[in-house]
């Protein structure tokens, strides 16, 4: 819910993802059959009132020998069909499809908003060699789109092997990354979510589409008999290192109780703090209790290293512990 101009509280978002491997049929009717079969699954997903529904890479041309030939403009038949769906169900949709722009064809993920209008496209930055030989043009940037629930980035299949995609996207500070793909990604998808502190949802052309949290933990996974999975996530979160911050946990919980949720990943020495408070954001809690976010900790660590290399004895100060200044803050890393 939103209060005032810039304060966004407890941003609960229902994410739905669909595993879809194509509808088959003759070559002449395959694209239309794919669209209609995927729409039937999307209608099922809409029963949960999702805020965003995600479909796999090239979902509308699966089984087509020449997918470039079936590339569409945006708007076009596929985005119009799913734009109507988005409008009727008041949801966003991500469509993995070949997109024609002028004389070029891209492997695109197209974001449609609740009104049914295309917001924009991400063009796959790293098409496979086979895609490039078939006529797919590589994209050159990774935009992050502002929606009414948060910042959304997108990546496609082979992109997952190239860190420059997520590093480029990270400049836009995404909170949710949609990964449309032909392959599962597995551990790689979890690593992206963990390393860049984002929620990641994959939409795969087979079982095992996943919803992953910013600690790299899988929250939900599709199966052969359950191609649609959805989960409510809270985008009012922050990821921190355990170092120095662990002394704040007790007083934080004493004040806010269940409205301040801590999810601790001891092996990685990190934790997520979620705010479930109707009037206090997670960043309000960070400021109130002097927590240090993960990015701030990395910056301070790098500054200390630079000072040491320059022969200086001083380094940026650690946050002061609340009432336990006699105790040395734990350092795990």
pLDDT recorded at residue 38: 98
pLDDT value at 315 more than 90: no
Q: Which residue has the tokens 């949710």?
A: 176
pLDDT band at 320 (very low <50, low <70, confident <90, very high): low
pLDDT recorded at residue 311: 86
| Percent of the chain surpassing pLDDT 90 | 89
pLDDT in tens, 134-172: 999 999 999 999 999 999 999 999 999 999 999 999 999
pLDDT recorded at residue 316: 62
Determine contact, residues 236/291, Cβ cutoff 8 Å: no
pLDDT recorded at residue 168: 98
pLDDT band at 325 (very low <50, low <70, confident <90, very high): very low
pLDDT value at 202 more than 80: yes
Q: Which residue has the tokens 């919980």?
A: 253
pLDDT in tens, 74-89: 999 999 999 999 999 9
pTM above 0.75, yes or no: yes
pLDDT value at 48 more than 50: yes
pLDDT recorded at residue 10: 65
pLDDT band at 324 (very low <50, low <70, confident <90, very high): very low
Q: What's the burial of 261, exposed, middle or buried (CB within 10 Å: 0-12/13-18/19+)?
A: middle
Q: What's the burial of 85, exposed, middle or buried (CB within 10 Å: 0-12/13-18/19+)?
A: buried
pLDDT recorded at residue 166: 97
Non-local CB neighbours of 308 within 8 Å, separated by 6+ positions: 315
In sequence order, what are the beta bridge partners of 122? 109
Non-local CB neighbours of 42 within 8 Å, separated by 6+ positions: 18, 53, 55, 82, 85, 93
How big is the CA angle at 40 (ends 36 and 41), to the nearest 5 degrees? 120
Element (H, E) at 306: helix 294-309
Q: Which residue has the tokens 């660590």?
A: 301
Pairing of β 237-241 and β 228-234? unpaired
């Amino acid at each position: 819910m939103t209060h005032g101009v810039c304060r966004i509280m407890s941003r609960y978002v229902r994410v739905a993802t669909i595993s879809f491997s194509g509808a088959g049929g003759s070559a002449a009717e395959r694209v239309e059959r794919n669209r209609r079969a995927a729409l039937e699954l999307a209608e099922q997903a809409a029963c949960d009132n999702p805020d965003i529904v995600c479909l796999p890479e090239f979902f509308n041309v699966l089984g087509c020998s020449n997918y470039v030939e079936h590339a569409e403009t945006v708007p076009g038949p596929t985005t119009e069909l799913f734009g109507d769906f988005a409008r009727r169900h008041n949801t966003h949709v991500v469509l993995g499809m070949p997109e024609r722009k002028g004389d070029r064809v891209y492997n695109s993920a197209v974001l449609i908003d609740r009104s049914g209008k295309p917001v924009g496209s991400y063009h796959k930055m790293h098409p496979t060699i086979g895609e490039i030989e078939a006529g797919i043009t590589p994209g050159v940037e990774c935009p992050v789109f502002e929606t009414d629930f948060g910042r959304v980035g997108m990546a496609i299949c082979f992109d997952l092997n190239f860190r420059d995609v997520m590093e480029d996207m990270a400049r836009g500070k995404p909170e949710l990354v949609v990964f449309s793909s032909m392959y599962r990604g597995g551990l790689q998808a979890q690593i992206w979510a963990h390393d860049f502190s984002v929620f990641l949802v994959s939409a795969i052309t087979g079982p095992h589409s996943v919803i992953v949290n910013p600690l790299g933990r899988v929250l939900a996974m599709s199966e052969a008999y359950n191609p649609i999975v959805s989960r409510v996530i809270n985008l009012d979160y922050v990821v921190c290192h355990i170092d120095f911050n662990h002394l704040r946990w007790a007083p934080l919980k004493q004040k806010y109780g269940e409205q301040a949720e801590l999810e601790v990943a001891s092996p990685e020495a990190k934790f997520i703090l979620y705010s479930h408070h109707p009037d206090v954001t997670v960043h309000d809690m960070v400021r109130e209790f002097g927590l240090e976010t993960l990015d701030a900790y990395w910056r301070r660590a790098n500054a200390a290293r630079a000072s040491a290399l320059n022969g200086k004895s001083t380094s940026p100060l650690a946050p002061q512990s609340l009432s336990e200044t006699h105790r040395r803050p734990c350092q795990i890393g």
